[in-house]
Amino acid sequence: MDLYEFQGKELFRRFGIPVSDGQLATSPAEARSAALELGGPVVVKAQVLAGGRGKAGGIKLAETPAEAEAVAHQILGMDIRGHTVHKVWIERASDIAREYYLSITLDRSAKQPLFMLTTEGGVDIEEVAARSPDALVRLHVDPLVGYRSWQGRRLVHDAGISDVGEQRQITAIVGKLYEAFVGCEAMLCEINPLIVTTEGEVRALDSKFTVDDNALFRRPEIAELRDLAASDPLEALAREKGVTYVKLDGEVGVLGNGAGLTMSTVDVVTFVGGRPANFCDLGGGGDAQGVVDALEVITRDPQVRAVFFNIFGGITRCDEVARGILQALEQMRLDLPIVVRLDGTHAEEGRGLLEQADASNLFTEATMLDGARRAVELAEAA
Ligand code: GDP
Ligand code: MN
């Protein structure tokens, strides 16, 4: 789960990483009163889950509350790389002397958290990595040993930060960033830029914070930060129903049980010339209610022209799945063609149930390939 800048900064603040004072606003009038309360010049920053806001015109300086109101009026409603701006963060403006970059992320190949620090911050880090890879200092932390303060000093030294005041402040921030990363079960905590003000103070001016979705169940205080309005409404519905759902952009809705079979089904649909609209993984259980929920999510996607149900019954019993499909047909008005391929445990009973039901939009196929072909044909005909 990605957090907005203002949420990431709130977490930074809780872990003792210095940030500027600010307030959230959802209207130009709120922006004006926030600027008034903060006093002096402010920066109005678009809150979207996308980077490069500065370049896109989503970050603007305002000298007065009236200017903050005008600038917020421009930014609210703006589209930044497909994300509409609904909120702005009004922050006391900083006088920047230097912009650095500091992050900690999970290095999967090393199976360890990885710190990166460079004095060439502010810009795209990929650019720095390509242009001057030596300027980007890297350091792994052994999670079993934990963070040690020499590691912060090593990073700061290797990055060529020579000012003693900066060294002291950044070393402390590195340690606190590690605490935030572990304490929030994050996958990424990035500060770009980490600024040095003209007074020599070091602060996090931006935040990119990604929390491990699989840890959210034990981090309710972070899970509640999720902005349901920003996410895809179908993804939100799927999450609510506990269905694994991924949106793609074709015409065939794909349902499988188990990640491996579901991914293969997506491939086979593509192989026979179709394009998957989305896919749902029923998982190992596949009880009737699970099937109803998954069908509801899949068929709410307006791009779906036909559904391909591909079930290999192991733990999942095909007759249970068939009952789920029939239950769904009773509960919802489903006019879309549904192609079902059932194989494995209780497959014959399952197919029997579907045939007895005699629904005109239900088609059974014996193999995955034939099922995919039929679904693609039906999607094209629709
Ligand atoms: P991003 O473009 O989405 O990465 O947004 P950032 O929060 O990193 O802001 C982009 C750039 O705007 C920064 O690198 C700064 O140069 C500038 N900026 C942001 N806040 C301030 C501020 O308080 N004062 C000044 N002078 N510049 C700022
Ligand atoms: Mn940034």
306 Cβ closer than 6 Å to some ligand 1 atom: no
116 in Cβ contact with 54 (< 8 Å): no
188-242 pLDDT per residue, tens: 999 999 999 999 999 999 999 999 989 999 999 898 888 756 667 788 788 888 8
Question: Does the structure show a pLDDT above 90 at 95?
Answer: yes
Question: Which of 47, 120, 205 gets mutated to test ligand 1 (max ligand atoms within 8 A of its CB)?
Answer: 205
Res 340: pLDDT: 95
22 Cβ closer than 6 Å to some ligand 1 atom: no
Res 242: pLDDT: 81
Res 285: pLDDT: 61
Res 286: pLDDT: 61
| SS3 state at 66 | helix
Res 229: pLDDT: 60
Residue of 302 and 264 predicted with greater confidence: 264
Ligand nearest to the CA of 85: 1
Question: Considering only CA atoms, which residue is closest to atom 4 of ligand 1?
Answer: 52
- Strand pairing category for 208-211 and 186-197: antiparallel
Task: Return the active site residues.
Answer: 101, 190
Question: Dihedral angle at the C-alpha atoms of 364, 368, 370, 373, nearest 10 degrees?
Answer: 100
59 Cβ closer than 6 Å to some ligand 1 atom: yes
Distance from the CA of 39 to the center of ligand 2, in angstroms?
Answer: 24
Architecture of domain 96-223: 2-Layer Sandwich (3.30)
Res 109: pLDDT: 94
Res 231: pLDDT: 63
- Nearest Cα neighbor of 364 from 314, 328, 315, 326 is 326
Lowest-confidence pick of 190-194, 245-249, 359-363: 245-249
Ligand nearest to the CA of 56: 1
Question: Considering only CA atoms, which residue is closest to atom 6 of ligand 1?
Answer: 206
80 Cβ closer than 6 Å to some ligand 1 atom: no
231 in Cβ contact with 237 (< 8 Å): no
Q: What is the mean pLDDT of residues 278-286?
A: 80
Q: Which atom of ligand 1 is nearest to the CA of 51?
A: 3
78 Cβ closer than 6 Å to some ligand 1 atom: no
Res 74: pLDDT: 97
Ligand nearest to the CA of 195: 1
Kindly report, as residue ranges, where domains of CATH 3.30.470.20 are found in the chain: 96-223
Token pair recorded at residue 305? 């022209």
- Strand pairing category for 79-80 and 59-62: unpaired
193 Cβ closer than 6 Å to some ligand 1 atom: yes
Question: Does the structure show a pLDDT above 70 at 284?
Answer: no
8 Cβ closer than 6 Å to some ligand 1 atom: no
Q: Which atom of ligand 1 is nearest to the CA of 92?
A: 23
Res 155: pLDDT: 98
Please list, residue by residue across 55-68, b when 16 or more beta carbons sit within 10 angstroms of its beta carbon and e when fewer do.
ebebbbebeebebb
Res 343: pLDDT: 92
Res 170: pLDDT: 98
Question: Considering only CA atoms, which residue is closest to atom 7 of ligand 1?
Answer: 206
The alpha carbon of 316 is separated from its chain's Cα centroid by a whole number of angstroms, namely 30
CATH of 21-92, one of 3.30.1490.20, 1.10.10.10, 3.90.1310.10, 3.40.50.720: 3.30.1490.20
Kindly report, as residue ranges, where domains of CATH 3.40.50.261 are found in the chain: 231-381
Question: Considering only CA atoms, which residue is closest to atom 11 of ligand 1?
Answer: 54
Kindly report, as residue ranges, where domains of CATH 3.30.1490.20 are found in the chain: 21-92
120 Cβ closer than 6 Å to some ligand 1 atom: no
188 Cβ closer than 6 Å to some ligand 1 atom: no
Distance from the CA of 111 to the center of ligand 2, in angstroms?
Answer: 26
Q: What is the mean pLDDT of residues 170-195?
A: 98
Confidence band (pLDDT; 50, 70, 90) for 98?
very high
CATH of 231-381, one of 1.10.10.10, 3.40.50.261, 3.20.190.10, 3.20.20.70: 3.40.50.261
Q: What is the mean pLDDT of residues 71-97?
A: 94
Mean model confidence pLDDT for the chain: 93
Confidence band (pLDDT; 50, 70, 90) for 83?
confident
Res 224: pLDDT: 87
pTM of the model: 0.72
Question: Which of 59, 61, 191 gets mutated to test ligand 1 (max ligand atoms within 8 A of its CB)?
Answer: 59
Residue of 125 and 73 predicted with greater confidence: 73
Residue of 315 and 352 predicted with greater confidence: 352
Question: Does the structure show a pLDDT above 70 at 168?
Answer: yes
Distance from the CA of 96 to the center of ligand 1, in angstroms?
Answer: 9
Question: Does the structure show a pLDDT above 70 at 322?
Answer: yes
Res 332: pLDDT: 83
Alpha-carbon distances, residue 102 vs 122, 138, 282, 288 (angstroms): 10, 10, 40, 49
